[in-house]
Amino acid sequence: MSLRFSAALAEAANVDRLIEEEAGGEEALADRLPLLGVPLSVKESIFLQGMPCSTGLISRAAFVASTDAPAVALLKRAGAIPLGVTNTSELCLWVESNNHLYGITNNPYDTTRTCGGSSGGEGSILGSGGAVIGIGSDIGGSIRLPCFFNGIFGHKGTPGIVSNDGQFPPRSGFNEELLSTGPMCRYAEDLLPMLKIMAGANADKLSLSSEVDLKKLRFFTVVDDDKPLWTSPVDKQLVEVQRKVIQRLEEDLGVKVKEISFPQLKYASEIWFSLMFLPDKDGKPPNSLAELMADGGSPVWPVWELIKRIFGKSDHTLPLIGLARIERKSSPFYLKQKEALQHDMDKVLGTDGVLLYPPHPLLAPKHHHPIFTMYNFIYT
């Protein structure tokens, strides 16, 4: 984590003066600056002016953001005070926040366990009470997993509602349709006001001010028989927790939570990888991991990096080297499965359906253990 404590203290002092001098009282300030004085942390892959943005690449260790990402700027304009930036996995592509620049980030509740990734630094600092609100990004669970592992709250919204500008790596190919920048916070009640602010003019597209009658919603749960291939079965403790959630919903709201099945879920891993390698709407393919790892230089050779890794000479982490090694073309078969899955989900859920589904089959794993269960992230 890189901090800006001195600047944050000066900004906090300005907030105190602003409150003292406000003639209209605190309510007037709250309307104009709803996040006035609230401590904010930012994922290191997202630009915060004056702070590093390496995304765990040693070659980017000296890079300092000269501007704020749009989402950061909107939160600052609402009065939030940034404390600094937090650790990520290398290139934001692993379920642990570990790299050769900053090292590994711990889970605040058990330091032998992972905080998740790639927004794991955010999960850790918010879970430990080091900040109140934060910003993450999510293309394959990078907000949802850290929130789950660290006992906090987050939201991966509809892609494009919150700007993805001002990040590294930059979006490319079909990634723009998968990546979401979103809020992470210690208290669930902060999600909605954060999202309204971060969405800017796009907030009107979501009807965020409309009240929802929970009793009029339809609730569904997926049986574990539909679990994706190559993944762990859901831990019994999580099954029991979900059972209690279902029981509480049925008792408090008078609804019936219906069990449903989506057979295509068993292809979830292959569907996600196929989408990741699709070109954008103009036909331009995504940047390869070998190119991104080189950060503007000649693309790295994953096999050579693996050999260097064996002798402790590679600048890159084993998971990223492995992912670069297995990059492949999109599969028409799995893209058809995606269309079928999307059609079935739209038909079942409609505009008033809620699907209860675990974000991960296991409790927060021990450090480095996810390498043995790498496909478990696909629950997100």
Q: Which of 118, 119, 124, 137 is catalytic?
A: 118
**Amino acid in the structure at residue 309:** R
Q: Which of 2, 43, 163, 338 is catalytic?
A: 43
What is the chain's alpha carbon radius of gyration, rounded to the nearest angstrom? 21
The angle subtended at Cα 64 by Cα 164 and Cα 154, nearest 5°, is: 35
- Decide if 266 contacts 288 (C-beta within 8 A): no
Catalytic residue status for 43: yes
Helices 70-77 + 191-199 axis angle, to 10: 120
Catalytic residue status for 205: no
**Strand 133-138 and strand 180-185: pairing?**
antiparallel
Residue 181 backbone phi and psi in degrees, to 5: -90, 135
Catalytic residue status for 284: no
Q: How far is Cα 179 from Cα 44, in angstroms, rounded to an integer?
A: 16
Q: Which of 119, 142, 180, 269 is catalytic?
A: 142
- Decide if 212 contacts 338 (C-beta within 8 A): no
**Amino acid in the structure at residue 353:** G
Exposed/middle/buried for 247, CB within 10 Å: 0-12, 13-18, 19+? exposed
Q: How far is Cα 356 from Cα 246, in angstroms, rounded to an integer?
A: 9
Q: Which residues are catalytic?
A: 43, 118, 142
